[in-house]
């Protein structure tokens, strides 16, 4: 199995950006039902910018530099809640990965966990609030449980668990974000943030699988 290096991280950013563009309308549609109809638009704008910034980096940029560039770009371009949340997630990855040129499965797991902790700190969301935290938390747990089987297996488990987490909270009433203003009416709608977070973990899985 190949290591998780800067090229893998860049491929992940590109894959995620591609899929956000492809699924922009779907995300915006989900957000129209229980939010303010901008999630797909904002994520697409942010990751298009992040992809361009990453492409401008030196080819030997370390993992931390690539992740930090993504995080700073998201904070500066996305706005809304997604900007600070996804931005913080990538900044925490950067802090954890640091100047490494490549990372092993344990490093990636630690980075993802740090990312999740950043999300929780910034957004103050808990499990069952019906947010991206409900997709990312089970994903990190599944990753840790499968980490001895290697990075590919762990990321596969993480992406699968994210999708399960996303669907698990669909029936719930949202308690954070704009969906929470709807009260009971937010129940039985799929959460846009949990959906984009699942797309992210699937892109990460696929970026490593194609290494």
Q: Which of 81, 93, 94, 207 binds another protein (CB under 8 A)?
A: 81
Min separation Cβ 196 and another protein, Å: 14
* Tokens 């700190």 found at: 121
Q: Which of 9, 70, 85, 200 binds another protein (CB under 8 A)?
A: 85
Q: Which two tokens stand for residue 99?
A: 């100047």
Q: Which two tokens stand for residue 154?
A: 């762990």
Count of residues engaged in binding another protein, rule: CB under 8 A:
34
Euclidean distance between CA atoms 37 and 160, whole angstroms: 26
Asked if 200 and 140 touch (Cβ cutoff 8 Å), the reply is no
Min separation Cβ 18 and another protein, Å: 19
* Candidate ranges 34-42, 56-64, 109-117, 163-171; the one touching another protein (CB under 8 A): 34-42
* Candidate ranges 33-41, 133-141, 147-155, 161-169; the one touching another protein (CB under 8 A): 33-41
Min separation Cβ 175 and another protein, Å: 5
Contact positions with another protein (CB under 8 A) in 161-200: 175-178, 180-183, 185
Report how far apart, in Å, the C-alpha atoms of 119 and of each of 35, 37, 62, 100, 176 are: 19, 22, 23, 23, 13
Euclidean distance between CA atoms 203 and 2, whole angstroms: 17
Q: How many CA atoms lie within 13 A of 150 on its CB side?
A: 7
Name the residues that contact another protein, by CB under 8 A: 28, 32-38, 41-42, 45, 75-85, 122-123, 129, 175-178, 180-183, 185
């Amino acid at each position: 199995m190949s290591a998780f290096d800067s090229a893998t991280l860049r491929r992940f950013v590109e894959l995620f950006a591609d899929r956000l563009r492809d699924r922009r309308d779907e995300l915006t549609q989900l957000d129209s039902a229980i939010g303010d109809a901008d999630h797909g638009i904002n994520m697409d704008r942010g990751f298009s910018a992040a992809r361009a910034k990453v492409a401008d980096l030196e080819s030997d940029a370390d993992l931390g530099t690539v992740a930090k560039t993504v995080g700073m770009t998201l904070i500066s371009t996305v706005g809304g809640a997604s900007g600070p949340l996804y931005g913080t997630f990538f900044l925490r990855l950067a802090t954890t990965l640091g100047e490494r040129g490549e990372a092993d499965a344990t490093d990636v797991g630690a980075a993802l966990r740090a990312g999740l902790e950043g999300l929780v700190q910034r957004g103050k969301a808990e499990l069952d609030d019906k947010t991206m935290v409900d997709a990312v938390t089970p994903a990190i747990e599944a990753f840790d449980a499968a980490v001895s089987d290697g990075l590919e297996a762990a990321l596969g488990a993480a992406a699968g668990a994210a999708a399960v987490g996303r669907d698990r909270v669909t029936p719930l009433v949202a308690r954070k974000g704009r969906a929470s203003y709807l009260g009971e009416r937010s129940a039985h709608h799929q959460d846009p943030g949990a959906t984009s977070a699942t797309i992210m973990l699937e892109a990460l899985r696929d970026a490593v699988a194609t290494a």
